[in-house]
Structures are given as structure tokens and as C-alpha cells.
Amino acid sequence: MLDSQHPLQPRLDEIIGGLRGLEGPLLPILHAVQAEWGHVPQEALAVIASALNISRAEVHGVMSFYHDFREEPAGTHLLRICRAEACQAMGGAALAEAAKARLGVDWHGTTADGGVTLEPVFCLGLCACAPAAQIDGRVVGRVDADRLEALLKECCA
Ligand code: FES
């Protein structure tokens, strides 16, 4: 339970109160919390666990299993690289390594200037144009290291 004066508490109570009656409420609550704050704040985990009568470790386990949830705020720009099969078969691993090297971060990392967060994603629906990436919501196909560089320059200019 958070201190009742904690700035998250009122909105967190509303979110949990509105969704806890659902069958399988944890995922909808986590999605709503991330939609509200851009990530799932550490302080929220214990509140959610307590409200659903599960352990904090269970909440954390679900967050780790689903790659959409992040524990820290994202950078200004969000770069997602597809890690699913069709993209892997078409150079997705090399693209992922190029992105990590270019940004100097690992998966879920954010560049030191807070500019770009790198996340894996599992199919962007652009399998025919693999390997695919998504930058600030825009899905792009046939991305290689050069195209990636151009996209980063475009978005971060
Ligand atoms: S497998 Fe990458 S877009 Fe579908």
C-alpha cells in the first residue's frame, strides 16, 4: 500500500477499482497503468499485488513474460525491432545487433541522453517486408543498418 499522499495513489486506485472485477484482471491493469504513466512504476507493483491478493513476484513475473511492459520510463523515441521468425530469417538478428551497437544499449535500454529506447517486438505484421522495425509507432520494412541510421536521423533530428 502506498502512502495515501503518494501522487500515484488516487489514479492507481481508480485504475485497479475499475478493472479488478474482470476475469484475469492483472494484464488489463498493467496495460492501463503503463498507458497512464508510460511505464509500470515500481511503487505500483506492491499495490497491484495487494489488490489482487497475489505476490509481488507474480506481478513481476507477468511483466517480465510480456515484452510490452517496461519498468522505467521510455526515452523520447521508441525503436522496436522485430524478433519473430520471418524477420529473424531475413537478417533480423544482424539488424538487432546493429541497433544495439548504434545506440549503445541492450534490449529495454535507453540511450544516455534519454533520446531512444530499444525494445524487442514479436511480429509487426510486416513479415513480407522483413526485417521490420517500428519507430515511434511507424512500422517500416526491409530495414538494414543503413536504413536504421536514416530512420534514427529522421526521428531524432
Ligand atoms: S515476423 Fe517480423 S513483422 Fe512479422
Check whether residue 23 and residue 87 sit in a common domain: no
Check whether residue 100 and residue 151 sit in a common domain: yes
Check whether residue 51 and residue 114 sit in a common domain: no
Q: What is d(CA 51, CA 148) in angstroms, rounded to the nearest whole number? A: 43
Ligand 1-lining residues (CB < 6 angstroms) = 82, 84-87, 123-127, 130, 132
Check whether residue 60 and residue 35 sit in a common domain: yes
CATH number for the domain spanning 104: value is: 3.40.30.10
Check whether residue 82 and residue 53 sit in a common domain: no
- Residue 137 placed within a domain: yes
HEC states along 25-47? CHHHHHHHHHHHHCCCCHHHHHH
Three cell numbers written together for 95: 539488424
Three cell numbers written together for 90: 531475413
Three cell numbers written together for 37: 504513466
Check whether residue 116 and residue 48 sit in a common domain: no
Please count the structural domains in the chain.
Answer: 2
The predicted structure's pLDDT at residue 155: 85
- Residue 97 placed within a domain: yes
Return all residues near 140 (Cβ < 8 A) that are at least 6 apart: 126, 132, 133, 134, 147, 151
Check whether residue 98 and residue 152 sit in a common domain: yes
Domain coverage including residue 60: 9-65
Q: Which atom of ligand 1 is the closest one to the Cα of 123? A: 4
The predicted structure's pLDDT at residue 2: 59
- Residue 4 placed within a domain: no
| Interval between CA 123 and ligand 1 midpoint (Å) | 4
Q: Which atom of ligand 1 is the closest one to the Cα of 86? A: 1
Check whether residue 104 and residue 151 sit in a common domain: yes
Check whether residue 89 and residue 138 sit in a common domain: yes
Ligand 1 pocket mutation pick from 124, 135, 138 by most atoms within 8 angstroms of CB: 124
Q: Which atom of ligand 1 is the closest one to the Cα of 83? A: 2
Walking along the chain (157 residues) 10 residues at a time, the average pLDDT comes out as 72 95 96 93 93 95 87 92 97 97 94 94 96 96 96 87
The predicted structure's pLDDT at residue 146: 96
Q: Which atom of ligand 1 is the closest one to the Cα of 84? A: 1
